[in-house]
Amino acid sequence: MNADYRRPFTPFSPHLLLTAANANYPVRDRISLWPWGMRRKALEEAARMELDTAEVVRLEPQRSIHIPARSAGAPPATVADIMTREVVSVLPDTPIHEIANTLLEKRIRAVPVTDSKGRLLGVVSEADLIRRVELGTDEDGSWWRKVFRDASTAAVDYVRSHGRRARHVMTARPVTTTADTPLHELARALGKRRLRWLPAVAGDHVIGVVSRSDLVRALARLSVPRDPGPRSDEAVRKDLEARIGGILSGPKLISVTVHKGDVNLWGLVSSGEERAALHVAAENTPGVRAVNDQMFTRPSSMS
């Protein structure tokens, strides 16, 4: 058997053996040893990527959505139902200290940067203002960035920490959303990308802003569900059994009885979490007055 030995043409560095296991080393590939030229290039690219606090992403509906007229008291469905339409924005030449005062006075976390016609150019957030020479926080302390950053990266760092205008510190490629984006898509994006605030745009013009607080505020405004009127015990039972069927994925070992609006839940559940879910489903079923929980959790020996 002939062994096939191959060696890379790029020479290895005799020093500074970097590993991808280092938590501060933002390289995607888990490779313990790279050729020196590849490692240097990867570190430079990672440093450049770190400068961008957001990606170019537009949170738009995945398909064309028709937004019907909402009845009074109906829950919000899209960004248009909860967004703030009175937008506080700044111009590219707005001084940094004015932006900081605006964030404090308006009790907001970020402001869009627009031109004189209202077209979105970028965003300045609290995160863009925390590494400043005035505060002595302009150095990030990353040893690999200090060693490997090139002249271009150093220049960008200097502008962001010493620049005195919005255009110097703004994130020029912010994540945006649109008025007809469904709220479930908005909530998923805010959570996945760890964002607190987004500008809503129509084309390249800012028409509003939406934040996590707007979602919480919408929840607080929702009124208590109105009494649907009298329902027969049979109607309540069928409704609850349908809800339970949507929760349980395995065999349904639950029995439901209803008497004058009082629900009795009997049977076997696989976990405490499943038991809690069935209890909540019963409480949310219109016509239910009380829930009598007679369920018990399946022992591990039965699983």
Q: What is the pLDDT of residue 99?
A: 94
Lookup: tokens for 217: 């505020």
Lookup: tokens for 152: 């271009």
Q: What is the pLDDT of residue 146?
A: 60
Rg of the chain (C-alpha set): 28
| 259 neighbors 233 (Cβ within 8 angstroms) | yes
| 32 neighbors 21 (Cβ within 8 angstroms) | yes
CATH of segment(s) 233-302: 3.30.1340.30
Q: What is the pLDDT of residue 22?
A: 39
CA 45 to chain centre: 25
Q: Where in the chain is the domain with CATH 3.10.580.10?
A: 76-221
Q: Tens digit of pLDDT for each residue in 210-262?
A: 989 888 888 887 755 556 678 899 999 999 999 998 888 777 789 999 999 99
Give the span between the Cα atoms of 94 and 121, in whole angstroms. Answer: 13
The whole-model pTM stands at 0.58
Which option is the CATH number for 76-221: 3.40.109.10, 3.10.580.10, 3.40.50.150, 1.20.1730.10?
Answer: 3.10.580.10
Sign of CA dihedral 43, 47, 48, 52: positive
CA angle 56, 59, 63 (to 5 degrees): 130
Q: Where in the chain is the domain with CATH 3.30.1340.30?
A: 233-302
Q: What is the pLDDT of residue 210?
A: 92
* Residue ranges in the chain whose pLDDT is less than 50: 1-32, 47-69, 71-72
Q: What is the pLDDT of residue 207?
A: 93
Give the span between the Cα atoms of 150 and 170, in whole angstroms. Answer: 21
